[in-house]
Chains A and B, each alone.
Chain A
Amino acid sequence: DQQVKQNSPSLSVQEGRISILNCDYTNSMFDYFLWYKKYPAEGPTFLISISSIKDKNEDGRFTVFLNKSAKHLSLHIVPSQPGDSAVYFCAASLPSGSARQLTFGSGTQLTVLP
């Protein structure tokens, strides 16, 4: 049972345009969401997160939007740069006390074309 889903395995965007990566979840108990970026042969790098009490969080070129009623979150990258080409994972966390367990989506390969 995939509780966090990234339905687009790949996305290609022109440099300078907006990249929008999507993620859906099924467990309404998730209350904290994160986006990670992963280059080949490296571990995932934390990008940005959002708590379920918010609907938007912004950090430089990266903005995450959360729609709780639709159980959907998205990551916007503006403007996209070739260095943004990587696999992007969304992840979610339950409010289970102090235990930390992230449930990851399957990832979306973003390619930014020069």
Chain B
Amino acid sequence: KAGVTQTPRYLIKTRGQQVTLSCSPISGHRSVSWYQQTPGQGLQFLFEYFSETQRNKGNFPGRFSGRQFSNSRSEMNVSTLELGDSALYLCASSLRDSHNSPLHFGNGTRLTVT
């Protein structure tokens, strides 16, 4: 079974631009979550989607948004990029609809903002 697929693997953007990252969950998984990993802050929760609905959102500004499609694929968007948005963005999917179902992560998209 294919794992969580994230595209692209690497991105370089300029301050002020916007970016869209894509995530395809494991087949059959309906829950998709996004996390940001930075050296200073570690892994931080961005948001979670289930059945095209955002169920939970972390403590990030409104420039960070996302959506989920009917096939469970998800995208996240960051507008008006800042240097501090440089990070590894990780998508994770989960099989069961419960808080104690492990998340399975993709390999991430490395975003560099210059």
Q: Quick check: B108 and A100 within 8 Å, CB to CB?
A: no
Instruction: Please provide the chain B residues from 80 to 103 with a CB less than 8 Å away from any CB of chain A in the complex.
Output: 90, 92, 94, 97-103
Distance, CA A12 to CA B101, complexed state (A): 31
B31 part of interface (Cβ distance < 8 Å): yes
Q: Which among B6, B90, B99, B103 is the interface contact of A99 at CB below 8 angstroms?
A: B99
Given A89-B43, A104-B43, A107-B42, A98:B99 Cβ within 8 A: yes
Given A93-B100, A100-B48, A105-B42, A43:B90 Cβ within 8 A: yes
Given A43-B90, A45-B105, A107-B42, A99:B100 Cβ within 8 A: no
Q: Quick check: A41 and B107 within 8 Å, CB to CB?
A: yes
In this complex, how many residues of chain B approach chain A with their Cβ under 8 Å: the count is 29
Q: Which of B11-19, B50-58, B69-77 contacts A (4 or more CB under 8 A)?
A: B50-58
Closest A residue, CB atoms, query B108: A43
- Chain B at the A interface: SS class: strand
Q: Quick check: B90 and A103 within 8 Å, CB to CB?
A: no
B66 part of interface (Cβ distance < 8 Å): no
Given A104-B42, A104-B43, A107-B42, A98:B98 Cβ within 8 A: yes
B33 part of interface (Cβ distance < 8 Å): yes
Binding site for B on A (CB under 8 A): 31-32, 34, 36, 41-46, 49, 51, 89, 91, 93-107
Told that A49-B100, A93-B100, A105-B42 touch, could you supply 19 new A-B pairs with CB distance under 8 A?
Answer: A31-B100, A32-B100, A34-B102, A34-B103, A42-B107, A42-B108, A43-B6, A43-B92, A44-B43, A44-B90, A46-B105, A51-B100, A98-B55, A98-B97, A99-B56, A100-B48, A100-B94, A102-B103, A104-B43
